Chains A and B, each alone.
Chain A
Amino acid sequence: MKQEKRSRILLRLFLSTLSLSAFTFGGGYVIVTLLKKKFVDEYHWIEEAEMLDLVAIAQSSPGAIAVNGAIVVGYKLAGMIGAIVAIIATIIPPLVIISVISVFYTAFRDNFLVSKLLQGMQAGVGAVIASVVWQMGADVVRSKSTASLLIMAAAFAATCFFGVNVVVVVLVCAALGVVRTLLHRKEDL
């Protein structure tokens, strides 16, 4: 009886993460919202407050947020096996779609029309990234935190002008974050 229920949960988990991954455009932030809708509002498998924390884990851990979101939900519902089922369901759609596209890409890249279309889209994707940076940067500026502004300026100089490896920047900032949090905690006590 219990065995049967577990396999049904795994199947529902697999199918819902698969369809979310296949049809969600717009990145990880959108997908975690949809995960919440599915598992909290529709299935009632996870409490709202707990889901908020699980989403926070997915967003603050390294890696793709969609993958992380699938892992936390899968792990919460069915342990390790749940996490593995959710991961597989999440990566199947991009794996298949990009495999097909990459075949067409090599065949069509040299076509005049396709190459001009892609060339124009380079300016478009540059604009998309610029607008994302503009919005994220404005949030940092608005936070009026001197430390955040310094980190932003230093990280920009390091990666853009001095060619510092991104991994180094991440490690330094993470260490800084640990120190800042621990210092804050001391003040609170």
Chain B
Amino acid sequence: MTLLQLFLSFLQIGAFSFGGGYAAVPLIQGQIVNQHGWLTMSEFTDLITISQMTPGPIAVNAATFVGIKIAGIPGALVATLGCILPSCVIVTLIARLYLKYRNLALLQGVLGSLRPAVVSMIASAGISILISAFWGADAVIAFATTNWSMIVIFLLCLVLLLKCKLDPILVMVLAGVINLVLSVIRV
């Protein structure tokens, strides 16, 4: 039953994430955190962080990570299969049509309308990640509960990424190290 649920969840993630990269993040959050509660918000954020630092698509990494946590190696295999199955069917179908007719106008038209929506959906997922980082996974959002050092680290990282164009992996490691050093000093 769990295996079937894993399969169906990742099937949806595979079928509805358009545009690559972070496009899968809001879908993974919806299925894994909000709908099934397989990961907490902070585990989910850790997963995205780990995915960033390892090779491989975020969705496949998430499938393996969640699959193993919920149902061991079979879970990882089933979830990964679910996540790539829509690609297999849809991509080979389109490739076959393309090799026959050589026309991609409709497909690119659809993508043109999806792209702005994908930006917004990634933004929404990013906001929930930041809320969890600033106020803890299930804490109330209030002035007193705010983790100020996290906000400072976030702003610093943003400057390093946008102004200094540093590598994202480097910036994330830096963020981790700064927080570690701050916590050790405080203890």
A interface residues (Cβ-Cβ under 8 A, vs B): 21-25, 27-29, 53-54, 56-68, 71-72, 75-76, 80, 83, 87, 91, 93-95, 97-99, 101-103, 105-106, 109, 112-113, 116-134, 136-137, 140, 147-149, 151-156, 159-160, 165-167, 169-171, 173-174, 176-178, 180-182, 184-185
**Contact assessment for B94 and A57 in the assembled complex, using a CB-CB cutoff below 8 Å:** yes
* B94, B125, B180: the one within 8 Å of A61 (CB): B94
B residues 128-187 near A (Cβ < 8 Å) are 129-130, 132-134, 150-151, 153-155, 157-158, 160-162, 168-169, 171-180, 183-184
Instruction: Given A57-B95, A166-B27, check contact A101 B50 (CB 8 Å).
Output: yes
Q: B1 within 8 Å of A by Cβ?
A: no
B164 CB to nearest chain A CB (Å): 11
A121-B154 CB under 8 A given contacts A57-B95, A63-B91, A166-B27: no
Q: How far is the CB of B122 from chain A (nearest CB, A)?
A: 6
Q: Give the residues in chain B near A121, CB-CB below 8 Å.
A: 46, 49, 172-173, 175-176, 179
B32 at the interface (CB under 8 A from A): no
A117–B150 Cα gap in the complex (Å)?
Answer: 12
| Cβ distance A155 to chain B, nearest Cβ, rounded Å | 4
Whether the Cβ atoms of A62 and B111 lie closer than 8 Å is no
- Can you name 7 A-B residue pairings with CB atoms under 8 Å? A63-B15, A71-B95, A95-B80, A120-B176, A126-B129, A155-B120, A180-B112
Question: Which residues 55-83 of B have a CB within 8 angstroms of A?
Answer: 55-61, 64-65, 68-69, 73, 76-77, 80, 83
A-B CB pair tally, cutoff 8 Å:
352
- B33 on the interface (CB 8 Å rule)? no
Report the nearest A residue to B21, measured CB to CB.
A27
User: Are A94 and B60 neighbours in the complex by a CB distance under 8 Å?
Assistant: yes
Question: In whole angstroms, how far apart are the Cα atoms of A130 and B95 in the complex?
Answer: 34
Task: Assess whether B48 is in contact with A177, with CB atoms less than 8 Å apart.
Answer: no
Q: Are B162 and A134 in contact (CB under 8 A)?
A: yes
Interface residues on B, range: 35 or more
Chain B residues whose CB sits within 8 angstroms of the CB of A147 once the complex forms: 113
Contacts known (A122-B150, A127-B175, A129-B25); A53 close to B104, Cβ less than 8 A: yes
- Nearest CB in chain B: distance from A108 CB, A: 11
> Can you list the 6 inter-chain pairs with the closest CB atoms, starting with the nearest?
A120-B179, A94-B56, A124-B175, A181-B109, A64-B57, A177-B113
Give per-residue flags for B79-99: 1 if the beta carbon is below 8 A from chain A beta carbons, else 0.
010011011101110111011
State the main secondary structure of chain A at its contact with B.
helix
Residues of A contacting B179 with CB < 8 Å?
116-117, 119-121, 123
Q: Are A140 and B176 in contact (CB-based, < 8 A)?
A: no
A57 touches B107 (CB 8 A): yes
Chain B residues 32 to 63 lying within 8 A of chain A, measured CB to CB, are 42, 45-46, 48-61
Contact A62 B18 (CB under 8 A): yes
Question: Is A177 a contact of B110 with CB atoms below 8 Å?
Answer: yes
CB proximity of B76 to chain A, nearest CB, Å: 6
Q: Closest CB-CB distance, A21 to chain B, in whole Å?
A: 6
Taking CB as reference atom, which chain A residue is nearest B30? Answer: A166
Partner of B157, one of A54, A124, A178: A124
Instruction: List residues of chain B with CB within 8 A of the CB of A94.
Output: 54-57, 60-61, 64
Q: Are A125 and B60 in contact (CB under 8 A)?
A: no
Complex Cα distance, B177 from A106, in Å, reads 20
